[in-house]
Amino acid sequence: MALGTFWPADIVGVGFFFLVGEGVISMKVAAYHSSNQSDPDVYHDHSDCPTGQQIPSYNKLSGTGGYPRCKQCVDKG
């Protein structure tokens, strides 16, 4: 897989690619959070964050929203 072809449509901002393990690509992206009040009050900054990937594009807001960073994003670096 070429690095230039990995661009999910709902990624917010521009980021950097990281190779993690065997061919798994993680991309650091601009901080975003959910506008949905039922979602956790955290922000995300990795393209492959499982929790962040569940946020529909219409609920994604740019920035941290004053929230702490998602634990899964912290673990990714």
pLDDT over threshold 50, residue 51: yes
CB 34 within 8 Å of CB 67: no
Angle at 33 between CA 36 and CA 37, to 5 degrees: 20
Structural domain boundaries in the chain: 14-76
Q: Read off the pTM.
A: 0.69
Give me the pLDDT at residue 21, please: 55
The 8-class DSSP code of residue 7 comes to: -
Give me the pLDDT at residue 76, please: 87
User: How many residues in total does the chain contain?
Assistant: 77
pLDDT over threshold 80, residue 62: yes
pLDDT over threshold 50, residue 59: yes
